[in-house]
Amino acid sequence: MPKQFWNHLQQDRHLLSDIAVLAASVIRRWIQAQYGVTPIILVIPHTFGRRLNFHPHLHILASAGGLNVRENRWVHFRDIDKYVLMYWWRFAVVHYLASVLGSEAEDLDAFGEVLGRQSKRPWNIHIKRFSSKWHFLRYAARYLRRPPIAEDRFISATDEHVEYWANDLKLKAWVKIKVSVEEFLELLIQHVPDRYAHNIRYFGLASPAGKHLFSSAVFTLLGEEQKPRPKRLSFEAMSVKYFDFNPFLDSHGQRMRRVGRVPSTSSLAGAA
């Protein structure tokens, strides 16, 4: 999305959720109009750029095929016209922001002029194809539960300043950025997701309603075996698997058990 809209999305976080739904709707409607099928769509919203700036954008994963509900068959396709899709996406975003923010804009004429200019310029849309399921999983996992900055990008951190590396696309080089601790915290805080916000959104055949209605048919048509849902790991099992540490064992390797609660010193003092 153009940077002229970033400030509005930063001030109203509900718009970020709506934009993800809007993007999935545009892709789903275009595929339905072009191929007459319902695809699988996953949307991963992102807010941070390479310099930790607020740069809202969407990573969208769409299946190269879909279910023809009327004929009960799976249809494969490969061609997605990025230019037509760009026109659809640009039209949807501009008209959505005009309807939602138009009445709230301080300067309505200036806001209308911005929308008018952005509705005529090309927008950047990148489309990549995955060669395998493993390629897809590596890409999706990279953008799920990912912190805004990797640990190896930090150069130094003191009580006054934080220095880190950033990839500057204009200079095509890694540059050092040094900010105060307060500025660094402000950069991080703007990327904290809202409570109950989902890191990944599911639409089309992957939506809850789509999975309930069509999952059995999709697996049958694709000749795939529908595996049972894996059991959720306990806290102890996750600690052992991911941290190689069992919090329920003592220093001698013996399993601990709860024998009671030791009252705090404040409660004892109050009782005395």
The C-alpha torsion from 71 through 77 and 81 to 82, rounded to 10°, is 110
Q: Is the pLDDT of residue 268 over 70?
A: no
Give the confidence band of 270 by pLDDT, cuts at 50, 70, 90: low
Give the confidence band of 238 by pLDDT, cuts at 50, 70, 90: very high
Q: Is the pLDDT of residue 267 over 70?
A: no
Say if residue 28 is exposed, middle or buried (CB neighbours under 10 Å; 0-12, 13-18, 19+). Answer: buried
pLDDT score at 8: 86
Please answer whether residues 215 and 201 qualify as being in contact, where contact means their C-beta atoms are separated by less than 8 angstroms.
no
Please answer whether residues 197 and 43 qualify as being in contact, where contact means their C-beta atoms are separated by less than 8 angstroms.
no
Q: Which one has a higher pLDDT value, 108 or 21?
A: 21
Please answer whether residues 48 and 146 qualify as being in contact, where contact means their C-beta atoms are separated by less than 8 angstroms.
no
pLDDT for 169-205, tens place per residue? 888 899 999 999 999 999 999 998 888 888 889 999 9
What is the pLDDT averaged over residues 11-35?
93
Say if residue 95 is exposed, middle or buried (CB neighbours under 10 Å; 0-12, 13-18, 19+). Answer: middle
What is the pLDDT averaged over residues 81-88?
93
Q: Is the pLDDT of residue 120 over 70?
A: yes
DSSP-derived secondary structure for 94-113:
HHHHHHHHTTT-SSHHHHHH
Task: Return d(Cα 115, Cα 99) in angstroms, integer.
Answer: 11
Half-sphere exposure of 166 (CA within 13 A, CB side): 18
What is the pLDDT averaged over residues 145-173?
89
Please answer whether residues 37 and 67 qualify as being in contact, where contact means their C-beta atoms are separated by less than 8 angstroms.
yes
pTM (predicted TM-score): 0.79
Q: Is the pLDDT of residue 258 over 60?
A: yes
Domain ranges of the chain: 3-148+193-227, 149-190
Q: Is the pLDDT of residue 246 over 90?
A: yes
DSSP state of 255: B
Q: Is the pLDDT of residue 272 over 70?
A: no
Q: Is the pLDDT of residue 229 over 60?
A: yes
